Structures are given as C-alpha cells and as structure tokens.
C-alpha cells in the first residue's frame, strides 16, 4: 500500500520556563492511503500531541524535531501559509468536544462555507448549495434550514456530524479523529462510527482514530498503535494485536476492560499509575508497573522489534520475546528473524 | 419482604421555561417519572442509561438531597425526606455517596487524611483526635493508599488515588448504602479496573449495599447483582445482568447492548443503530417514550404508556414484548 503520511522520530519538548520536558520520545508512525490507523493509550501518553505536532498546531512553547512527510513531501517546519492550506485541505481533524470546536456566535452555514471558500474557492450560492449537500451527506435532515441555525440549537451528536461535514469540505485525503465519540452517548456513538465508516468507504480517505476506548479502536481500525509514556510500544494489525498482544501493557489494558458478553470475571488491573513525563524511569517506561519486568528492563528502553511470525507486528519489550521463545512456540525461521541484525 | 432501600413511584419534575413565541412558555421537565425499585441488604443495583435519562436525579432523590415531586423513598423502614433535619442527618450517616469527579468532591485546602477523618468529626464528635487519626489511617490502608500520602493535598494525587480518598471517606462511618454516581467514568482503563476491584473487595468485606450508576454497560454488568435500564425518566427493563445484557427484551436495551464496541466483538458487526437523538425530557413523546426511535413500534405504542411487567425476575416495559408479539429487531448490516 502506498504511504500517505509518515512520521519519523518525532520528538516534542515542552518549554516549562526553566527547562524542557520531553513529552514525545521519537515516535514513528505511518498511514497508508485509505487505511484506518487506531491509536490507543491512556491520558498523557502522547497520542493527541503526536498528530497536533504533525499538523503544526502545538504553538511556540513546543520544540519539535523529526520528520513528517505527506506523500513523500516534508511538512514538518513548513511555512505557516503552506500549513494552513494543508490543514482542512489535505488533512482534516475533528476533536472530542464538537460544541467547543464550533464558533457559538456564527451560524452553521457560515462556518461550513468558510471552509469551502478557503479550500475550494466556492462562494455565494454554490458554496451554500455545497454546504447543504455536505450536511445531507453526514445525515442531517432539513439541511437548508439547519444551515441557518447556531451550534447551541443542536445536540452533541448533531454537532459532531457538523464537524465531520466541515472536515469533508476540503475533500481531505486523511481525517484525524481525536476521541470523536468520547463525549457522546452509546447509541449516538454507534451512529457516528457508522457514518465515519460509510464516508471512508465512499471517499477512500484514510483515518487516524485516536481513542482511549479499546472497543472503538478494535471495531474501526485496520492497524493499531498502542502508546505509553510518549512512545509507541506496540503496533500491529488489529486482529493480531487483540488476539495475540505482545507487550505486557497491551495485555494489561485488554485484561482490565470489563466485557459485555461471556462470563463475569474479576478484572485484572495494572498496578500503579502512568508516570509523569518528567519522571520517566531510565529504562522501559512501563517497567515499574510491569509484572514480568527484570533488570534488563531498567537498563535502557527496549528497541521496537518484530514480534511473532507476522511481519507487521512490532513491540518494544525485551521480556515478551523471552516468554515466547522459552515456550518454544515459534517456528524456527521466525526465531532467526528475531536475532538482531 | 422489603429491602434495605425501597423506592416507590418516584417522580421529580422541574418547572422550566421553554423559549417559544414572544414570552416563551412554561413546561414541565420530567427528569424522573415514576421509578420504583428496591435494594436488599448487601446487594448492588446497577442503573444504566444515556445522559439525561434521570440516573443522577434518582441518586439525589434517594439520598434526599432534592425533594421528590411525588413518590416515596424508604430506607431501612423509615421515610427519606428532603428536610435536612436531625432525623435526615442520622439517616445520611448510613447512606454515603461517591461522585464522578473526585477533585470536585474534595477540599483542595485540606490534607487528605483530615478529609477522610471528617465524617468522624461530624457524626462522632466525642472521638479523640488521636483515635480519629488512627481510624483514618486504617481507612487509607484499606483503600490502598500509602501512609506517606496522608499529608498530601488532593492536587498532589492522581485521579485514581483521589477517588480512593473519596471512597475511604464514604466508608468511614460503615454505611449500609453507598450511592456511586459514575465513580470510574473519569478514570483511565487501567485505573478504572483498580477502583472497580477495590469497590468489589470492600463490598465483600463490609457488606454495604450499593446503587451503582453508570452510562457504561460493561462497568455496570461487572459490579451489579441486578440492573435497571432507564430511558427518559423511566425504567424500561430490569433484571439480572446476565438476563438483561445477554437476552435483552426491550428494543432500547437491545440497541444499547448491540452498540457497545468491544475487542471481542470486533469484526462481528450486528449493531442496531437507532435513528435520531433521544427526545428532550421536556417534550416526552406520548405513550411509550421510546416509540419515536423504536424500530418495531406500532400504533398502540403512541397512545399508551407501557407498564413494567415482571416475569421470572426479568421486568420489561414494552407493549409488544409483554403481549408476546415482539418481532425480532433486525440488526443493521
């Protein structure tokens, strides 16, 4: 598959006045054309700032290094003018709380036509007609009447649909959805997820779905990246990640989740809490909470290496491979591939 | 036999002003509209529903924090009223509650151990300061807080630790009933599991009954002996969690259960997607309040409010289900 966006060794330091605190420690991720990449992790793991940084939205207090390429073209550190053409055009983003992303004092119609004017040069009646078509596209009935309404006149689910309509205005190749359904009720969440799936099927755009909800990510994604302490610690296609998780953190997250089907079991919790970005342990950042951690884990951050017999499954854990190899569960040719080159 | 907590046809209506015409009009917002349930000693009732369905209002009514429009709440045989007199305070010491936002429930200017000991100060003023500190330290230990955290302030603790402080304080007086309103919704998955397990352990040890409120079906299923599903101020289905979530009868519960994405369900999409938003509680539809979104609604659903009919411990408020004529709800896709 052709790579659409690739992030390489992205690191972010935040200026805390006297010193810099590193919030992201060299993250590399890529999204192929038309693919759905799920990004999961707990609060503070860096899942949102990765994408905000990629779009140049972090402001002057963040020092960013690394490379971000869109279709092979470097966009990290690009001029503000170029970036604002890109944002909302090639790459669109929607956020958790739609009502605070919309301007409360402007009518819906004006906010959508603004995006149409900026990115597609449409004005006047043609812009209004296109805005109505977009609202219709995201499942809002009575589109022409709705264009004259204000965000507060609509429910949270409706506002999220409007955000999606605005994101579609620039006909993006990539939509970054940051917790798009977290503030919504279960039945509305189902509607929005279905809408996103349908739009993706029709337009062929790629989707980055950032969520803390493993269920949502499992349901929507082709591939999933799990983040912890400002790093990607595991990445695999969805099936492989949930059926055969490698990293103890991923395993822990899955076991900590209560289920709706099957027998009730006691939840397995991960002890302790996520370390603060300025108090990360020297080695693997998960080691203090990890049940199988040993001395090697404290020595240095483990490398992000292939796991198992799949070529798309990677994990940053020393111990997870030990476990598998001692169990002799691996075919021999894979064992060879695990030897560091 | 009557349980520890007996709630009968509880209603809470608010007079609201709806913008309409030049001066607007008065309307009645039916936050809770005829809810009945009981909780036995040491058992947990889970209450689920979407935002605005009246779960939290029910919690406040149960504790007598706000007066009911009509209906009764009986706790251990005595009426709970919203008159905050000596009688109410005596009852309240046996009924405690935990909210979603621990930072809002804690005083930012007091070290946590003082806050955990505060219930003793209020309800047992004769207790010596030394004993109070000792009891508070024991409570901290029982909820898994380290002794060195005693003198910290709420902002110095993580979200999960703060919720532990709130739990310790709620359990200080060994209450018979604990009302938990979205106790883990603000917490991360790994911390959520810690707090749920803690509540489970404490319940086993001290035997409190609980009213457990959450929008998250998975969490409610994990914690409850019985569950009740609310929609627009009414209970539409109630029963054992296994029955209600595995074999839901009411079309709303069916849609709700099918809408939950979980890792185990991935790929097997048989979601029932409901049309539209829940109606506003100011304009509750006539008849069955769910008929506007119901995929199997019939003409009769528009006129008559369905009663909650129980058979074999599983109660459903749906005309079609109770008439034994419910066609299977077709899953989308």
Nearest to B187 by CA among B98, B296, B313, B69: B98
Confidence band for B327, pLDDT divided at 50, 70 and 90: low
Task: Give the model's confidence band at A275: pLDDT under 50 very low, under 70 low, under 90 confident, else very high.
Answer: confident
Q: In what order do the strands lie in the sheet with A206-211?
A: A91-94, A174-178, A206-211, A36-40, A223-228, A231-237, A314-315, A305-306
**What pLDDT, on the 0 to 100 scale, is given for residue B280?**
84
**pLDDT recorded at residue B269:** 64
Percent of chain B with pLDDT over 70: 96
Task: Give dist(CA A35, CA A14) in Å, integer.
Answer: 31
| pLDDT at residue B64 is higher than 90 | yes
Which residue in the set B190, B215, B245 is minimally distant from A185, CB to CB?
Answer: B215
Contact A218 B191 (CB under 8 A): no
- pLDDT for the residue B203: 92
What confidence tens digit (pLDDT) does each residue in B74-89 have? 999 999 988 889 889 8
Share of chain A above pLDDT 90, in %: 58
Pairing of strands A305-306, A231-237: unpaired
| Inter-chain CB proximity B263 and A215 less than 8 Å | yes
B290 lies within 8 A of chain A by CB: no
What are the distances in angstroms from CA A6 to CA A35, A75, A92, A145?
13, 10, 16, 41
Mean pLDDT of chain B: 89
Q: Which residue has the higher pLDDT, A135 or A279?
A: A135
Question: How would DSSP label each residue in A175-210?
Answer: EEEESTTTTS-HHHHHHHHHHHHHHHHHH--EEEEE
For A47-144, strand residue ranges (E) read 62-70, 73-74, 91-94
Give the list of residues 6+ apart from residue B184 with CB closer than 8 angstroms, or none. Answer: B163, B191, B192, B195, B196, B214, B216, B219
Sheet holding B177-181, edge to edge: B95-98, B177-181, B209-214, B44-48, B226-231, B234-239, B314-316, B309-311
Does the beta carbon of A267 lie under 8 angstroms from any beta carbon of chain B? yes
Of B42, B239, B194, B165, nearest in space to A258 by CA: B194
Q: What is d(CA A26, CA A231) in angstroms, rounded to the nearest whole number?
A: 7
Of B126, B204, B127, B115, nearest to B161 by C-alpha is B115
> Is any Cβ of chain A less than 8 angstroms from the Cβ of B280?
no
B261/A218 Cβ within 8 A: yes
Q: Cβ of A273 under 8 Å from any chain B Cβ?
A: yes
- The ipTM assigned to this model is 0.83
pLDDT at B44 over 90: yes
Q: Is A283 on the interface with B (CB under 8 A)?
A: no
**CA A203 remoteness from chain centre:** 20
CA gap A154, A102 in Å, rounded: 12
Nearest C-alpha of chain B: how many angstroms from A213? 8
Of A158, A253, A259, the CB nearest to B262: A259
- When pLDDT is cut at 50, 70 and 90, the band that residue B22 belongs to is confident
> Phi/psi at A143 (nearest 5 deg)?
-55, -45
How confident is the model over B31-35, as a mean pLDDT? 93
For B111, B134, B175, the CA distances from B167, given in Å and listed in that order, are 15, 17, 11
Q: How far is B105 from chain A (nearest CA, A)?
A: 21
State the pLDDT at residue B33.
92
C-alpha–C-alpha distance, residues A147 and A150, integer Å: 8
Optimal mutation site among A45, A213, A227, A258, interface B, most CBs of chain B within 10 A: A258
Tokens read off for B3: 């349980």
Mean pLDDT of A84-91: 90
Report the DSSP beta bridge partners of residue B237: B229, B316
Cα(A143)–Cα(A134) distance, integer angstroms: 9
- For residue A338, pLDDT over 90 is answered with no
Binned at pLDDT 50, 70 and 90, residue B1 comes out as very low
- Tell me how far CA of residue A31 lies from CA of A174, A220, B66, in angstroms: 9, 15, 52
Contacts of A188 (CB under 8 A, 6+ apart): A155, A156, A157, A181, B50, B277
Average pLDDT over residues A300-320: 87
Calculate helix-pair angle for B159-171, B129-142, nearest 10 degrees: 130
At how many degrees (to 10) do helices A108-120 and A124-137 cross? 110
Mean of pLDDT values over A302-326:
80
Nearest 10 degrees: Cα torsion A255, A260, A265, A268: 20
At A334, the pLDDT band (50, 70, 90 cuts) reads very low
Q: What is the DSSP letter of B117?
A: H
Q: What is the pLDDT of residue A117?
A: 93
pLDDT single digits (tens) A134-170? 999 998 888 999 999 999 988 888 999 999 999 999 9
Q: B258-305 pLDDT, tens per residue? A: 988 888 888 666 788 888 888 888 888 999 999 999 999 988 899 999
Q: Is the pLDDT of residue A322 over 70?
A: no
Interchain contact, B259 vs A259, CB within 8 Å:
no
Tell if the pTM clears 0.80, that is, is over it: yes
β-strand A206-211 against A174-178: which pairing, if any? parallel
Nearest to A210 by CA among A93, A120, A319: A93
Residue B3 has pLDDT above 90, yes or no: no
What is the sign of the dihedral through the CA atoms of B112, B114, B120 and B123?
A: negative
Dist. CA A3–CA B62, nearest whole Å:
57
Residue B246 C-alpha, separation from nearest chain A C-alpha, in angstroms: 7
Adjacent-strand bridge partners of A20: A15
- Model pLDDT for residues B138-176, shown as the tens digit of each residue: 999 989 898 889 999 999 888 889 999 999 999 999 999
**Residue A270 touches partner B, C-beta closer than 8 Å:** yes
* Residue B228: both structure tokens together: 């009740």
Structure confidence at residue B181 (pLDDT): 93
Q: Which residue in the set A218, A271, A273 is minimally distant from B266, CB to CB?
A: A218
Q: Give the model's pLDDT for residue A61.
A: 86
Return the closest-CA partner of residue A194 out of A164, A233, A220. Answer: A220
pLDDT above 50 (res B332): no
Closest approach of A242 to chain B, Cα-based (Å)? 7
Report CA-CA distances (Å) from B156 to A22, B76, B110.
21, 39, 12
CA distance B207 to B201: 10
Q: What is the mean pLDDT of chain A?
A: 88
**Chain B residues 143-162 within an 8 A CB cutoff of chain A:** 158, 160-161
What number of CA atoms fall less than 13 Å from residue A218's CA on the CB side?
23
Between the CA atoms of A86, A89, A94 and A100, what dihedral angle is there, to the nearest 10 degrees? 90
pLDDT digits (tens, 9 = 90+) for B199-237: 999 999 999 999 999 999 999 999 999 999 999 999 999
B/e letters for A99-127, b = 16+ CB within 10 Å, e = fewer, are bebbeeeebbbebbbbbbebbeebeeeeb
CA-CA-CA-CA torsion for B266, B160, B195, B151, nearest 10 degrees?
A: 170
Decide if pLDDT at A216 tops 80. Answer: yes
Please check whether residue A186 touches B, CB under 8 A.
yes
């Amino acid at each position: 598959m052709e790579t659409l966006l690739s992030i390489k060794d992205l690191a972010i330091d935040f200026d805390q006045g006297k010193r810099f605190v590193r919030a992201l420690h060299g993250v590399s991720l890529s999204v192929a054309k038309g693919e759905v990449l799920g990004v999961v992790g707990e609060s503070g793991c860096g899942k949102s700032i990765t994408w905000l940084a990629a779009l140049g939205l972090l402001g002057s207090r963040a020092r960013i290094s690394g490379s971000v390429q869109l279709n092979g073209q470097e966009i990290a550190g690009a001029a503000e003018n170029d970036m604002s053409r890109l944002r909302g055009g090639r790459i669109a983003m929607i956020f958790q709380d739609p009502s605070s992303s919309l301007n409360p004092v402007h009518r819906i119609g004006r906010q959508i036509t603004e995006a149409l004017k900026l990115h597609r040069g449409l004005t006047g009646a043609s812009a209004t007609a296109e805005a109505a078509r977009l609202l219709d596209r995201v499942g809002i009935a009575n589109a022409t009447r709705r264009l004259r309404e204000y965000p507060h006149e609509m429910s949270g689910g409706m506002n999220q649909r409007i955000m999606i309509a605005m994101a579609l205005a620039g006909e993006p190749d990539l939509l970054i959805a940051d917790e798009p359904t977290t503030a919504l009720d279960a039945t509305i969440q189902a509607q929005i997820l279905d809408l996103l799936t349908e739009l993706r099927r029709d337009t062929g755009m790629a989707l980055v779905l950032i969520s803390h909800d493993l269920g949502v990510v499992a349901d929507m994604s082709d591939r999933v990246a799990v983040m912890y302490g400002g790093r990607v610690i595991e990445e695999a296609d969805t099936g492989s990640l949930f059926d055969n998780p490698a990293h103890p953190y991923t395993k822990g997250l899955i076991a900590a989740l209560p289920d709706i089907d099957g027998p009730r079991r006691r939840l397995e919790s991960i002890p302790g809490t996520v370390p603060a970005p300025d108090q990360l342990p020297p080695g693997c950042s998960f080691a203090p909470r990890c049940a199988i951690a040993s001395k090697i884990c404290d020595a240095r951050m483990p490398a992000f290496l292939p796991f198992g017999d799949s070529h798309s499954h990677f994990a940053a854990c020393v111990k997870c491979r030990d476990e598998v190899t001692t169990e002799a569960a691996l075919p021999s040719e894979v064992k060879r591939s695990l030897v560091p080159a | 036999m009557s349980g520890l907590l007996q709630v009968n046809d509880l209603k809470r209506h608010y007079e609201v002003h709806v913008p309409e015409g030049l001066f607007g009009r008065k309307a009645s917002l039916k936050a809770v509209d005829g809810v009945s349930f009981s909780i036995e000693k040491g058992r947990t009732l889970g209450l689920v529903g979407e935002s605005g369905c009246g779960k939290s209002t029910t919690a406040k009514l149960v504790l007598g924090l706000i007066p009911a429009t009509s209906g009764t709440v009986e706790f251990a045989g005595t009426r709970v009223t919203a008159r905050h007199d000596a009688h109410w305070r005596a009852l309240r010491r046996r009924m405690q509650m935990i909210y979603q936002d621990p930072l809002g429930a804690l005083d930012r200017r007091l070290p946590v151990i003082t806050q955990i000991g505060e219930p003793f100060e209020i309800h047992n003023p004769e207790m010596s300061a030394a004993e109070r500190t000792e009891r508070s330290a024991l409570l901290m230990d029982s909820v898994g807080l380290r002794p060195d955290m005693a003198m910290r302030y709420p902002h110095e603790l993580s979200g999960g630790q703060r919720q532990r402080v709130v739990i310790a304080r709620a359990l200080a007086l060994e209450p018979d009933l604990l009302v938990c309103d979205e106790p883990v919704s603000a917490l991360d998955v790994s911390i959520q599991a810690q707090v749920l397990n803690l509540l489970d352990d404490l319940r086993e040890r001290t035997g409190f009954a609980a009213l457990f409120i959450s929008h998250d079906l998975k969490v409610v299923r994990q914690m409850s002996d019985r569950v009740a599903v609310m929609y627009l101020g009414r209970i539409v289905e109630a029963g054992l969690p296994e029955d209600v979530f595995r074999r839901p009868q009411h079309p709303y519960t069916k849609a709700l259960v099918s809408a939950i994405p979980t890792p185990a369900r991935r790929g097997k999409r048989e979601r029932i997607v409901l049309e539209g938003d829940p109606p506003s509680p100011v304009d509750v539809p006539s008849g069955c309040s769910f008929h506007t979104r119901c995929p199997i609604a019939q003409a009769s659903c528009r006129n008559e409010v369905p009663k909650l009919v129980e058979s074999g411990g599983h109660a459903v408020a749906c005309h079609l289900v109770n008439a034994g004529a419910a066609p299977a709800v077709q899953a989308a896709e």
